[in-house]
Amino acid sequence: MQKRLSRKFLLKLFFAVYIIFVIKVIIFKYPMAQLYAIADAWRRDAILEGLGTANFMPFRTIKMYIDYAYKLNSVENLAGNVLVFMPFGFLLPLIFDDLRTFSDVFINAFTFVLGIEVFQLFSAFGAFDVDDIILNCLGAALGYAAYKVMTYMLYRKNGVPPRKDDMAFNDDALSYAGDSMSPEEDGI
């Protein structure tokens, strides 16, 4: 029991560090001196400036990156926006038993990403872009798909068929995914 609790705790700790990393990379990506300068210079009209530079049209930025792939760091931006949220879609259902459906993961990812984008819109610590929301949510969906594939493979390896309504990741699968002994052989 202690072993399982410590693994769950470590996963939660890793998830918290991951969330802090995402916030740092997306919102606080500039050097501290520049962040202080942005904060010191912030005025209410920064919101109007943010609205002027914001992209509310879906796929506009994505299309621009594709059209100018030879000039811009398009691949890094497109792939980065997807990849940064794959761990979210994978870890959320892995850690939280009540958040194991696609809709749970998608709603949480969408809410988190929307919060980041709205913060950028009002704070001048970045620019609001609806395409970031699309790409980040796609990343979370791909992470969730990886979670589902992994749970299916672990259930098959452990001889337990997945239930149609919930292929949730259980502690026994986590504990024995890489071990050769079954829980019974280990005395649990």
Provide, rounded to the nearest whole percent, the portion of the chain with pLDDT above 90: 52
Which whole-number Å values give the CA distances from 81 to 60, 73, 86, 188, in the listed order?
A: 15, 12, 9, 42
Q: Cα 13–15–20 angle (5° rounding)?
A: 95
Answer yes or no: is 129 within a domain.
yes
Question: What DSSP line would sit under 131-176, residue for residue?
Answer: HHHHHHHHHHHHHHHHHHHHHHHHHHHTT-PPPSS--PPPHHHHHH
When mean pLDDT is compared across 16-20, 37-41, 67-71, the lowest value belongs to 37-41
Please tell me the distance from the alpha carbon of residue 131 to that of residue 125, in angstroms, as a whole number.
17
* Helices within the chain (DSSP H only): 2-26, 32-41, 45-53, 60-67, 74-83, 86-95, 102-123, 130-157, 171-176
When mean pLDDT is compared across 78-87, 92-101, 118-127, the lowest value belongs to 118-127
Whether the CB-CB separation of 170 and 95 falls below 8 Å is answered with no
- pLDDT value at position 3? 64
Given a cut of 60, whether residue 34 has pLDDT beyond it is yes
Given a cut of 50, whether residue 182 has pLDDT beyond it is no
Residue range 64-78: average pLDDT? 88
Given a cut of 60, whether residue 13 has pLDDT beyond it is yes
Answer yes or no: is 59 within a domain.
yes
pLDDT digits (tens, 9 = 90+) for 95-123: 999 999 999 999 999 999 999 999 998 88
Answer yes or no: is 44 within a domain.
yes
Residue range 64-92: average pLDDT? 92
Given a cut of 70, whether residue 184 has pLDDT beyond it is no
Answer yes or no: is 27 within a domain.
yes
Mean pLDDT of the chain: 83
Whether the CB-CB separation of 110 and 43 falls below 8 Å is answered with no
Please tell me the distance from the alpha carbon of residue 147 to that of residue 133, in angstroms, as a whole number.
21
Answer yes or no: is 184 within a domain.
no
Number of domains in the chain: 1
When mean pLDDT is compared across 113-117, 149-153, 156-160, 182-186, the lowest value belongs to 182-186
Given a cut of 70, whether residue 64 has pLDDT beyond it is yes
Answer yes or no: is 186 within a domain.
no
Q: Which residues, including other chains, have CB under 8 Å from residue 58's CB and lie 6 or more apart? A: 130, 131, 134
Answer yes or no: is 187 within a domain.
no
Q: State pTM to two decimals.
A: 0.79
Give the residue numbers spanning the domain of 28: 2-176
Please tell me the distance from the alpha carbon of residue 118 to that of residue 61, in angstroms, as a whole number.
17
- pLDDT value at position 22? 97
Residue range 54-60: average pLDDT? 96
Answer yes or no: is 68 within a domain.
yes
